[in-house]
């Protein structure tokens, strides 16, 4: 089992993608901590994981709330002893309209949500992972040459997430080489 004895946090775990990821991680042996805004959705996913013999805990967390994200990561480490994998798959609540028709607020919504939540959850996990000298932070989405008309700020948000992912890689890669070397 690929994730046996690992501790994984999944933000947005009550959604379709987050729920599927949580179930897959649990099947591979991880203890999963499910975070999201809707208690009933989280409990439904956790119930399915437990029914299959997996270990799942749920916490209502708004991944856009800095204090809530930091507290949640601290609580996971306090309870489980470590945090091995952090994966953020929350919805960016984007409005998809042509750029010539979209309001500035609707255009900026997914960009702001994506960069804020991906930054906060990665930072909270990184603080614990750096101490241990190991861990994996996963981001969902990223850039690519393809785009479609009418996506509003969604594609721009994905490109921003890719830039943030690269920045984390450079900074944490440098830390890892100093910790390990």
Q: 83: pLDDT confidence band, cut at 50, 70 and 90?
A: very high
Query: Please, what is the average pLDDT of the chain?
Result: 93
| pLDDT reported for residue 148 | 87
Distance of alpha carbon 37 from alpha carbon 117, whole angstroms: 13
Domain 7-180 is in which class? alpha beta
If you count them, how many residues does the chain have? 181
The confidence score (pLDDT) of residue 95 equals 93
Model confidence over 158-176: pLDDT tens digits? 999 999 999 999 999 866 5
Residue 96 near residue 18, CB atoms below 8 Å: no
Cβ 99 vs Cβ 107: under 8 Å:
yes
Structure confidence by residue, pLDDT tens digits, 34-63: 999 999 999 999 999 999 999 999 999 999
Q: Are 41 and 65 in contact (CB under 8 A)?
A: no
The pLDDT, as a whole number, for residue 165 is 92
Residue 88's closest CA among 71, 73, 105?
73
- Say what the pTM is: 0.92
């Amino acid at each position: 089992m690929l994730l046996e004895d690992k501790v994984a946090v999944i933000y947005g775990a009550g959604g379709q993608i987050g729920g599927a990821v949580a179930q897959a991680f649990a099947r591979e042996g991880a203890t999963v901590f499910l975070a999201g805004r809707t208690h009933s959705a989280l409990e439904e996913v956790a119930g399915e994981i437990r029914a299959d013999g997996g270990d799942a805990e749920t916490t209502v967390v708004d991944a856009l709330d800095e204090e809530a994200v930091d507290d949640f990561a601290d609580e996971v480490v306090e309870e489980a002893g470590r945090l091995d994998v952090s994966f953020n798959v929350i919805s960016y609540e984007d409005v998809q309209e042509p750029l010539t028709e979209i309001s500035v607020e609707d255009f900026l919504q997914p960009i702001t949500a994506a960069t804020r939540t991906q930054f906060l959850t990665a930072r909270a996990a990184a603080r614990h992972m750096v101490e241990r000298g190991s861990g994996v932070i996963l981001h969902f989405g990223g850039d690519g040459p393809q785009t479609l008309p009418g996506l509003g700020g969604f594609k721009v948000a994905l490109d921003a997430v890719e830039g943030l992912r690269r920045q984390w890689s450079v900074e944490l890669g440098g830390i890892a080489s100093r910790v390990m070397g």
